[in-house]
Amino acid sequence: MKHLLSFSLSTLILIISGINAQEQSSSTTDDPEEHWTKERMLNAIPISPPEISEEELKNVLQRSKTSDDLKIEKEDRVVLEKSESPPPPTRADLNRVPYKNAGKLFSREGTEDYFCTAQFVQKGETRNNIILTAAHCLRSGDVWKSNFSFCLRCNDNQGERFSWECATVHPDWLPGGRKRPENDYGFIRIAPPLPEELRALELGVSGDLPSRVIAIGYPWNYNQSKYMYKVRRDINTSSGPTRMSDNPFRGGNSGGAWVDPQQRRKVFGLFSTKFFGMTLSPRFDSMTSQQVQEIYQKAINCTPDDTRCTCKPQLKNY
C-alpha cells in the first residue's frame, strides 16, 4: 500500500510538472498569435531611436560628399530658427491617408517585449504585404528580434492584427555592418490573410525631397503611445540623411514614416537615429532608389535559409 501511494504521488508530481512546463513553454511561444496578449501589448517597451556621437554625425556628413560641414550646420540652424514655435503634435485620423496605412509593430528580444511604428508600403508594383520600419526595430546589435506582430491602425492597442513571414534590413545593419544612420531601414513580409482594400503608401520620390514633412508615430510622451500622432516640421534635405531639428516625439516613434504634405502617399523617410535635438532619416529618393528596391525585393523573396533574412519558425521553405 505504501509503495502504491508513493507511486501515485510521484506520478501526480510528474503530471503537474509536465503541465507547468507546457504552460511555461506556451508563455514564451514563437507564435505571435499566441504570444501577444492584451497584457503583453500593454507592457511592451517603446523603442527609442539610437543616439549617435558628434564624430559619427560628422562621418555621416562626410559620406554624403558634403564639401562644407559649416554650411550644413548653418542650414540646420536656419531650420531650427524657422520652427521656434512649431505646431504641436495632434492625434492622427486613422481613416485618412497616410495614417490608415500605419500602425504599431510589436517584437520580442530575449525576455522583453517591444514596439515601434511601421506602415504598409509598395515600390514599383502594387502590393499590400510589405511593411517598412527602422532597421533598429528589427535587430538589436547583431541579433534579430522575433515574434513580430503588426497592429494596423492601432488605437489603444486595438486594431487589425497581422502576423509575419520574413524580415530583412539594409546590409549595413547585418552582422559586420557599420549600422550607419542613413541605412537604418528594413522590411517585413506580412502573412496572409492580407488587407485587400488597403492601398499601400508609395516608397520614394523621384524629384527633390520636400522641405516640410508630416511625420507619424506612437510616441511614449503623448498618452503613453496609446494613439498615433502626427507632427509637421521643416526639415533639412540639402545632402546626406534628411534631418529634423525639433522632433517632439520620445520613444515608440522609431520607424514612423515621413511623408510629403502635398503628396501624402509618398514616403521619403522615417524616424531613425538622433543627435541631441536633431533626428536623422534615411533618404528614399532617386539617389537611393536602386538599393532600396533591391532590399524591398529581398523582403518579397526571403526564405528561411537566406542569411540576410529572418523568418517565422513555423514558416516552411518555399
Interstrand relation of 266-270 and 164-169 (parallel, antiparallel or unpaired)? unpaired
Half-sphere exposure of 227 (CA within 13 A, CB side): 10
List, in order, residues 6 or more apart from 220 with CB less than 8 Å away.
46, 250, 251, 252
The pLDDT confidence band at residue 114, using thresholds 50, 70 and 90, is very high
List, in order, residues 6 or more apart from 199 with CB less than 8 Å away.
101, 126, 128, 265
Q: Is 98 left (phi over 0), alpha (psi -120 to 50) or beta?
A: alpha
Identify the sign of the CA torsion 150, 49, 186, 108: negative
C-alpha grid cell, residue 112: 522583453
Q: Give the Cα-Cα-Cα angle 54, 58, 63 (nearest 5 degrees).
A: 145
Decide: helix, strand or coil at residue 294.
helix
List, in order, residues 6 or more apart from 21 with CB less than 8 Å away.
none
Label residues 59-91 b or e (16+ Cβ within 10 Å = b): ebbeeeebeeeeebeebbeebbeebeeeeebee
DSSP assignment letter at 289: H
Q: Look at residue 84 in the predicted model and tell me its pLDDT.
A: 62
CA distance 95 to 3: 69
Instruction: State the alpha helices, DSSP H only, in 124-221.
Output: none
CATH topology for 40-313? Thrombin, subunit H (2.40.10)
pLDDT in tens, 4-46: 444 444 444 444 444 343 333 334 566 777 899 999 999 999 9
Q: How far apart are the first and last CA of the chain?
A: 58
Neighbours of 58 (CB within 10 A): 14
CA distance 80 to 11: 71
Q: Look at residue 300 in the predicted model and tell me its pLDDT.
A: 96
pLDDT at 1 over 60: no
CA distance 136 to 279: 14
Q: Look at residue 305 in the predicted model and tell me its pLDDT.
A: 94
pLDDT in tens, 154-202: 999 999 999 999 999 999 999 889 899 999 999 999 998 888 788 999 9
Whether the Cβ atoms of residue 258 and residue 270 lie closer than 8 Å to each other: yes
Whether the Cβ atoms of residue 133 and residue 148 lie closer than 8 Å to each other: no
Q: Among all chains, which residue has been given the C-alpha cell 514616403?
A: 267
Q: Look at residue 196 in the predicted model and tell me its pLDDT.
A: 76
pLDDT in tens, 257-299: 999 999 999 999 999 999 988 999 999 999 899 999 999 999 9
